[in-house]
Chain A
Amino acid sequence: MEIKVLGPGCPKCQQTMQQVEKAIVETGVNAEVSKVTDTLKIAEYGVFGTPAVVVDGEVKSVGKIPSVEDIKTWIQG
C-alpha cells in the first residue's frame, strides 16, 4: 500500500503525517508513506487545499487533519 501526504510542510501537514504513521503502527498494515511537498506535484492531484492524504492513488482527505480512526478505515479497506 502506498500513502502520500500532500502539503508544503506546514504544522498541519506535519500533524497529518504523524496521524498517518500512528494509524499504520496501530493497524500493522504494510504501507509505504511519503510526503509530497512540491506544489506542482500537489496540483497534479487536483486538490483544493492541503494537507491532503492519498491512499493508493485515491484522494481521501483534503484541507484538514484526518483522525487516526478515519485513516484506519482507509488503509484497512
Chain B
Amino acid sequence: MTKECCQSNNNVMILACSGASNVGQLSNQAAIELTQEGYGKMFCLAGIGGQLSGFVQSAKDVPNLVAIDGCQVGCAKAILDQAGIAAKCYIVLTDDPGIEKNKDFELKREEIDQVKSTIKGLPLAEEAPVASGSGGCCSCS
C-alpha cells in the first residue's frame, strides 16, 4: 500500500448527477465505466450535497473534476455551486452528445459509448497521469 501511494495516475474526479431518467442513469453508467477503464475515479456527489467536509474539500483540491449532468435542470452543477466548487469540466448530456431525455432505464450501449467518448474529449485542467512526486493526489483511499 505504501509503495502504491503517490504512484497512482488517477487524478480525475468524476461526479455524475445519477438522476432518475435515462440521461441521469447514463451519466452514472458512464462514470462507472470510465472509472473501471482508468480514465478517472467516480466520487460521491451526494457527500458534497450533504456538505460533508471530506467530500467538499476533496472536490475543491482535486486537479481535474468532470461533472456530468443528464439534463438542463443541472442538479450536479447546482450542488457544486452551492458548495463553492468550480465545475472545471462540465457536460450536459441532453446538449452534448444531445441525447433526448426520457424515463427508459434500459440504457443503450451506443449511448453509453457516446457519452464516454464525449467526456474523454473534454479538455482537462491538468493532463493525467500525474507523475510520482508531483503536485497530484495519492488516490489510495
Contacts and interface: CB of A to CB of B under 8 A. Distances in A.
Interface in A8-49: 8-13, 39, 42-43, 45-49
Contacts of B60: 62
A8 B1 contact: yes
Contacts of A7: 5, 138, 140
* Chain B interface residue bracket vs A: 20 to 34
Interface stretch (B46-54, B73-81, B116-124): B46-54
A62 B54 CA distance: 8
B135 interface: yes
Interface residues of A, number: 28
B60 to A, nearest CB: 8
Nearest to A42: B141
B16 to A, nearest CB: 15
B79 to A, nearest CB: 15
B44 A8 contact: no
Interface of A: 6-13, 39, 42-43, 45-52, 54, 57-64
20 contacts: A7-B5, A8-B5, A9-B2, A10-B5, A10-B6, A11-B133, A12-B138, A45-B141, A46-B44, A48-B61, A48-B137, A49-B138, A50-B5, A50-B139, A51-B138, A52-B57, A61-B57, A61-B61, A62-B61, A63-B136
